[in-house]
Chain A
Amino acid sequence: MKYTYIKYITFIFSLTFILVGCSNNNDNNDLPMGPDFSGTFMQKDQMGRPAVNTVFVSAASKDEFNVTVPSQQGAKFQSMFETNLTALSPAYANAGDKNALGLDAATFTGLLATDVLNVSLDGKTTFYDGTNVLTGRALADDVITVELLLIFGGEDFSENPSLSNDNVDANDKTFLTSFPYLASPW
């Protein structure tokens, strides 16, 4: 009986030792622990559609555009976009002038100033393929020529042909058909 009691006490003591040991190890980081993901992360850069901040936002406002939430970008930046679009492509200043999407300067810049990428969950995802408009952005999409056409190409993509295509139509490496889709580095 007494022997059992001693064994019991010893067990308790050992257990305490082990528990203290573990706790010490944790305090000293001797044992591998999970990564630390704590902290607050503050916005530095953001992007929806290609080349929007770079083309339509004036130099002094580029940082501010990057830290304005999309739901406030339209109200804050649409008029600046319209001014810069009209400076780039003066035909937009003519009354009734539109691009091939049927958008005039105010409507087009109203769309662009809210810098989000619209993506369809139902079918083909492309920036523009002649049929589908703004249903995503695939790797091979020639987004710059599409944007140049919408800026300079007029109602039927025929205006300013020397400005509305950069004549670089594809990437310098072939994309993969499977995940991760992007080509290996040079």
Chain B
Amino acid sequence: MKKNKIYLATIFAAIIGLITIAADHIDAPAAQGTTADITDFYAFQGEDTSNLVFVANLQGLLSPSATASASFDENVLVEFNIDTNDDNVEDFVIQALPRDGKMYFFGPFTPTSTGLNSTVNESAIIGEVMITPYDAIAITSTNSAGMKFFAGPRDDPFFMDFARYGEIIAGNASGFNSPGSDTFAGTNVLSVVVEVPKSMIGSSGTINTWVEAKAKQ
């Protein structure tokens, strides 16, 4: 039994090694396969159209059997960056950091220094939510500012015939199949979802956003 598990793990690792691209799944050597590997980033208008929703997905390609034991890393900070004046430098950040079964949220606040290194701003607006366990109904929370929070395993919302794309790039196929086959079907990710009133990050116009995973030193 144990031998089989190790064998399967080896095969899985070999397959992962072969796969080199996706939305941002396993995009680079230093990030891929780690708890700081961002797989995807979404930003869209909420059900309440006066709100904006940010989604960061991490640790992709989780099989259903691997999902229950997957967990957020307490040493990895997820930071949503928001640029309101089109210079591609963050004017606001929203931070998410897990501690003991809960995801804590800070912001949106204006960071004292921008760029590659961050510290958590504990004096910022704060929210928290229990991390939803695998197979449980989604646990969400709302803070006094009207922000909503979720953290836990979800179906990977990304879809693509990635396997066929790999064959095309490798020169083994001349085009996509029709219909294609979703390489990400049946796999899960760990999601951090935060909904924020637009009034907290600007009034109108276009913002530039991106997400970062940062590891504690």
Whether B138 lies near A180 (C-beta < 8 A) is: yes
Contacts of B148 in A (CB 8 A): 179-180
Whether B89 lies near A182 (C-beta < 8 A) is: no
Whether A137 lies near B44 (C-beta < 8 A) is: yes
Whether B210 lies near A166 (C-beta < 8 A) is: no
**Partner-binding segment picked from A6-14, A20-28, A59-67, A100-108:** A59-67
Contact of A186 among B89, B138, B188 (CB under 8 A): B188
For the complex, is A18 an interface residue (Cβ under 8 Å from B)? no
Contacts of A80 in B (CB 8 A): none
> Which residues in chain A, 133-185, are within 8 Å of chain B measured between CB atoms?
135-139, 142-144, 162-163, 165-173, 175, 177-185
Contacts of B27 in A (CB 8 A): 45, 47, 53-54, 62, 66
Whether B104 lies near A114 (C-beta < 8 A) is: no
B162-204 Cβ-contact flags toward A at 8 Å (1 or 0): 0011001000001111111110111110010101001001111
**Tally of chain A residues near chain B (CB < 8 A):** 72
In the complex, what distance in Å separates the CA atom of A53 from the CA atom of B193? 23
In the complex, what distance in Å separates the CA atom of A114 from the CA atom of B81? 14
In the complex, what distance in Å separates the CA atom of A52 from the CA atom of B97? 26
A32 to chain B, nearest CB (A): 10
Contact of B44 among A42, A71, A139, A185 (CB under 8 A): A139
Contacts of B125 in A (CB 8 A): none
Whether A47 lies near B41 (C-beta < 8 A) is: yes
Contact of A136 among B43, B47, B88 (CB under 8 A): B43
Contacts of B176 in A (CB 8 A): 162-163, 165-167
For the complex, is A48 an interface residue (Cβ under 8 Å from B)? yes
Contacts of B12 in A (CB 8 A): none
A103 to chain B, nearest CB (A): 18
- In chain A, what residue has the closest Cβ to B137? A184
A33-67 Cβ-contact flags toward B at 8 Å (1 or 0): 00111111111111110111111000000110111
Cβ-closest 5 pairs across A and B? A162-B175, A62-B28, A54-B21, A41-B214, A180-B150
User: Given contacts A44-B76, A180-B150, A183-B157, could you give 15 more A-B pairs where the C-beta distance is less than 8 Å?
Assistant: A35-B99, A46-B211, A66-B31, A69-B88, A114-B88, A115-B210, A116-B88, A119-B208, A121-B52, A122-B205, A136-B43, A136-B44, A138-B42, A143-B23, A168-B161
